[in-house]
Structures are given as C-alpha cells and as structure tokens.
C-alpha cells in the first residue's frame, strides 16, 4: 500500500491497538471531541521535529491508533471478523498518514477508492469501508 501510494519503501510508522478510554482521551486532546472513535491518525510533521535524525534514517509517516473495542463492535455489526475490521481500520489510518481525508464528498470518494483498492489487494474486497 505504501509503495502504491508513492511512499518511500523504507518508510516507518507506528500502529497502536488500545481501548476506548485511551482513544477517547486522544480524541478529546487533539480533535476536541469527547468521545471514543475507531481510529485516529497522527501524521508526522517534519517541520515540528524536536530532534535531529540521522540522514539515513527512514522517513517516519506517523502513528495510527485503533480502538480494539470499537473494532470488535463494528466487526459484529458488519458481520466479518475482528481481524478484518482491524485491517480495515489500519488501512484507513495509514491512508490518512499519506494525506487522504474525507471532509468533502470529493475527498471521501478518493479515499474510499484507495481504501477499496488496498482491501481488494488484501483479499478483503467484501469489507465495507467504515464511516470514520
């Protein structure tokens, strides 16, 4: 997915699986929404980097934070496995790190096309993209 979207092949990112309390706290702190959500993505901003990195260090894309309880509920609602839902949420979060968004109808259409393409490559074409 990263290579297909033009990210350097050595790019790095973090994926954190957590609970509703932690994701609610992050959502409140960074998005000013006092509620849990299924996935948050925090893209790295190299202009705000506090530390100097080695020139040969791979580019860091950012962090994807997923709520396991939300994934479990959504997988039951959508009638697929929790593993499939986690994959969907991770794909969704990584696309955010790569600059995709769904704030407008055009942005959403582009993001959902990219998301569906990746899910198809993973053999998960039957998974309905989440409305995060």
pLDDT at 9 (0 to 100)? 80
Which class in CATH covers the domain with range 12-121? Answer: alpha beta
pLDDT at 83 (0 to 100)? 94
pLDDT at 59 (0 to 100)? 85
Within 13 Å of residue 51, how many CA atoms lie on the same side as its CB? 5
pLDDT at 32 (0 to 100)? 95
Residue 6 DSSP label: T
pLDDT at 103 (0 to 100)? 92
pLDDT at 56 (0 to 100)? 77
Q: Where are the domains of the chain?
A: 12-121
Extract the tokens encoding 10. 């050595």
Extract the tokens encoding 102. 């769904």
Could you tell me how many helices (H) and strands (E) the chain has, helices first? 4, 3
pLDDT at 46 (0 to 100)? 63
Successive 10-residue mean pLDDT values, the chain, 132 residues: 82 96 96 95 75 74 96 94 94 95 94 92 76 56
């Amino acid at each position: 997915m990263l290579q297909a979207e033009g990210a350097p092949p050595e790019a790095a990112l973090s994926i954190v699986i957590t609970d509703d309390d932690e994701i609610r706290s992050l959502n409140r702190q960074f998005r000013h929404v006092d509620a849990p959500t299924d996935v948050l993505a925090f893209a790295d901003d190299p202009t705000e980097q506090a530390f100097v990195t080695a020139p040969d260090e791979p580019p860091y894309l950012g962090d994807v934070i997923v709520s396991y309880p939300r994934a479990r509920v959504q997988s039951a609602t959508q009638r697929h496995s929790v593993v499939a839902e986690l994959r969907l949420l991770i794909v969704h979060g990584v696309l955010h790190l790569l600059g995709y968004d769904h704030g407008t109808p055009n942005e959403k259409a582009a993001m959902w096309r990219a998301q569906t393409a990746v899910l198809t490559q993973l053999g998960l074409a039957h998974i309905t993209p989440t409305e995060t």
